[in-house]
């Protein structure tokens, strides 16, 4: 399935800001797009998910971790393509 222009624009635009690409395999033969936002911005993340959901394996999920610098518990919401 090919990306439509809106999906291409969303990925390219967010790579300039808060999105990122990760190598999916060690040989670099695949990639995945990842979007992470704090829970206060979850409506924006769900908008991105709606545009890309045909390519996503699962809906956005909550993620929690301790920031090593500040030692604060961080709660984010994330989805991967």
- State the pLDDT at residue 13: 92
Parent domain of 52: 5-80
Number of domains in the chain: 1
Q: Kindly report the average pLDDT of the chain as a whole number.
A: 86
Cβ atoms of 63 and 42 closer than 8 Å: no
CA distance 81 to 25: 14
- pLDDT 10s digits, 22-61: 887 777 777 888 888 888 888 998 999 999 998 888 899 9
Residue spans of alpha helices (H) in 1-81: 5-15, 42-52
Residue 26 sits in a domain of what CATH number?
3.10.28.10
- State the pLDDT at residue 81: 59
Between residues 23 and 70, the one the model is more confident about:
70
């Amino acid at each position: 399935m090919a990306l439509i222009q809106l999906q291409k624009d969303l990925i390219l635009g967010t790579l300039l800001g808060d999105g990122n690409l990760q190598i999916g395999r060690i040989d670099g033969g695949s990639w995945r797009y990842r979007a992470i936002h704090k829970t206060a911005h979850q409506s924006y993340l769900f908008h991105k998910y709606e545009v890309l959901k045909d390519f996503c394996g699962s809906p956005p999920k909550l993620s929690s971790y301790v920031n090593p610098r500040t030692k604060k518990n961080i709660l984010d919401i994330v989805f991967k393509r």
